[in-house]
Chain A
């Protein structure tokens, strides 16, 4: 996309050598937040034609402020960028939209998947340390504590079962767990089960704002089939669905469906396998 590439890393990590033409590092002061790194990075971004940023919360703040200062908008979560045209999800996957920046510098956020198997190259050595420039009205960091992760990595599962709001009680998830054990599946969920009720770890929810998976087998249980969820398993090999509502949208997107109550179906199915 460009002749000259500079990389800037915010935070504790070291910047690897040999990945760009120039490298910069921003150390965030102990009582500051990474979101406030925009003024520090402004000189690096100045004059750039393209800025590509990682789609994390911190970096979305930083790149948003840089774009605002440039009178631009960020094209976010690009699935691909070709000839300056980015493809993004629209309405959580109901559609896809192609967009192009009309400003002199184009700002994007994109995950690693957007660039296929492109490999980094370049002659950068040790990164240049940028001195922190605090904004007026800085946000003050009081504490930062790591989130304990469940250790579940559904991206490595060939078989994925997803539990949805059809599970009326947390205890009913044991039915899904027994079923998973029988078929060697990883248990994921829809977003509502990971947020608000917190029955499932955040890193196990599937969909446009969570995990995008391509398992061999996906079984949606008590999942209605909203696009925001289904887009996360669109490329699954075989899609199975269990739902008590015969008109649930998931039945229009599955290979095999069973209409009925998951509380009776799951034990019977687990026994039949």
Chain B
């Protein structure tokens, strides 16, 4: 089975600084695999293991900063076989429509593909739209909220956890599946996995033609934070727990 995982690389939000002017400074942020895409990679690796004789290809599109050797090894240390990366400032911060177009171009270039797995939503926008836009671009069906995947001949049987119901669906392949974090717990790669990852095929390329923007970003700001008292005590200090209890009582 040929399995593709679409992954987004984002600045690690732990490293994002808020400037005095209330702007977000990401210049010191490490490049990281978007949190829920880790579950998508793991789901792909598990599906490949279950199906046997499979290839897992990771496809990612982003700015030139994502061409980071530690990050690339991290991606490939999680059960994927090969990486296709578009790292080009022309491809930074694309909207869902343009991202899907760029991913589709890469996926079609890889050749045969039975299933594309996407994460639940990216850590930055969490729009949950690239999966469906990508499916539309590839002309294949898609479902989201997937928590179980089973290969079933020319179809995938998927269980989806939605707001109020659990649906079991049959999706003809090729198809796009967006998985919920529940689908699989990401592995923690060991030293060996990381060393092996460095030897796996990596195709790093510039962007081809990028689709025109469909959405314009006007402003990014940190929200105003509420003023808090910040009265923090060590629980071992005399009377700390009693004072905390008293403060709770007063606030009730």
Query: Which A residues between 217 and 266 are near B, CB-CB below 8 angstroms?
Result: 217, 219, 226-227, 231, 234-235, 237-242, 246, 251-261, 264-265
Interface-located stretch among A73-81, A110-118, A166-174: A73-81
**B251 within 8 Å of A (CB atoms):** yes
Among B1-9, B44-52, B128-136, which stretch is in contact with chain A? Answer: B128-136
Q: For residue A239, which residues in chain B have a CB less than 8 angstroms away from its CB?
A: 228
Q: Which of A57, A137, A196 contacts B145 (CB 8 A)?
A: A57
A255 adjacent to B231 (CB under 8 Å): yes
List the B side residues contacting A94 at CB < 8 Å: 13, 16, 18, 24, 222
Contact of A177 with B by CB under 8 A: no
Specify which chain A residues have a CB less than 8 angstroms from the CB of B24 in the assembled complex. 90-91, 94-95
Measured CA separation A240–B161 after assembly (Å): 33
Interface check A156, CB cutoff 8 A: no
Q: Are B160 and A75 in contact (CB under 8 A)?
A: no
Question: In the complex the two chains form, is B143's CB within 8 Å of A33's CB?
Answer: yes
A144 to B171, CA, bound (A): 15
- Residue pair B228, A61 in contact (C-beta under 8 Å): no
Shortest CB-to-CB span from A84 to chain B, Å, is 10
Contact in complex: B251, A216 (CB < 8 Å) = yes
What's the Cα separation between A95 and B143 when bound, in Å?
29
B168 within 8 A of A: yes
A257 and B233: CB pair below 8 A?
Answer: yes
Q: For B126, B144, B145, B157, which residue has the most chain A Cβ atoms within 10 angstroms?
A: B126
- With contacts A100-B216, A257-B232 taken as known, whether A74 is within 8 angstroms of B125 at the C-beta atoms is no
CA distance A60 to B162 in the complex (A): 11
User: Across the interface, which residues of B come within 8 angstroms of A191, CB to CB?
Assistant: 181
Residues of chain A with a CB closer than 8 A to B233's CB: 257-259
From B231, which residue of chain A is reached at the shortest CB distance?
A256
* Complex-state Cα separation, A226 to B21, whole angstroms: 22
Judged by a CB distance under 8 angstroms, whether B97 is at the interface is yes
State whether the Cβ of A208 lies closer than 8 Å to any Cβ in chain B: yes
Which chain B residues border A85 with CB–CB below 8 Å?
218
8 Å CB interface, B158-175 against A: 160-172, 175
Cβ 8 A contact of A97, one of B100, B143, B217, B226: B217
From DSSP, what is the main secondary structure of chain A's interface residues? mixed
CB proximity of B238 to chain A, nearest CB, Å: 13
Tell me if A30 is interfacial: C-beta within 8 Å of chain B.
Answer: no
Set A36, A234, A252: member contacting B230, Cβ < 8 A: A252
The CA of A211 and the CA of B39, in the complex, are separated in Å by 22
- Assembled-state Cα–Cα distance A246/B240 (Å): 14
User: Does residue A155 face the partner (Cβ distance < 8 Å to B)?
Assistant: no
State A64–B16 Cα separation when bound (angstroms): 29
Structural contact, A72 and B167, CB atoms closer than 8 A: no
* Contact between chains at B126 and A92 (CB < 8 Å): yes
Residue numbers in B under 8 Å from A21 (CB-CB): none
Q: Which of B53-61, B62-70, B78-86, B241-249 is found at the contact surface with chain A?
A: B241-249
CB-defined contacts of B166 to chain A, threshold 8 Å? 144-145, 147
Contact A251 B129 (CB under 8 A): no
In the complex, the answer to whether B252 meets A264 with C-beta atoms within 8 Å is no
Given contacts A73-B97, A139-B141, contact A273 B167 (CB under 8 A): no
CA of A47 to CA of B182, assembled, Å: 39
Given contacts A75-B215, A269-B241, contact A60 B144 (CB under 8 A): yes
Asked whether A71 is an interface residue with its Cβ less than 8 Å from the other chain, the reply is: yes
Please give me the residue from chain A that is nearest to B251 by CB atom: A238
Give B43 Cβ to nearest chain A Cβ, in Å: 13
Are B223 and A195 interface neighbours, CB within 8 A? no
Known: A71-B97, A145-B165, A195-B181. A217 touches B136 (CB 8 A): no
- Chain B residues in contact with chain A, CB under 8 A? 10, 13, 16, 18, 24, 95-98, 100, 121, 123-129, 131-133, 135-137, 140-145, 155, 157, 160-172, 175, 180-182, 185, 212-223, 225-226, 228-236, 240-242, 244-245, 247-249, 251-252
Q: List 28 A-B contacts (CB under 8 A).
A: A33-B169, A60-B129, A61-B142, A68-B132, A69-B136, A73-B129, A88-B125, A90-B124, A90-B125, A94-B222, A96-B222, A101-B216, A103-B214, A140-B169, A142-B157, A145-B166, A146-B164, A158-B252, A195-B181, A216-B252, A217-B251, A240-B244, A240-B247, A253-B225, A253-B228, A254-B228, A258-B235, A273-B249
Which 7 interchain pairs have the tightest Cβ spacing? A260-B235, A64-B132, A257-B232, A68-B136, A272-B245, A238-B251, A255-B229
Residues on A facing B (Cβ under 8 Å): 33, 35-36, 56-58, 60-61, 64-65, 67-69, 71-77, 85, 88-103, 135, 137-147, 158-159, 183-184, 191, 195-196, 198, 202, 208-209, 216-217, 219, 226-227, 231, 234-235, 237-242, 246, 251-261, 264-265, 268-269, 272-273
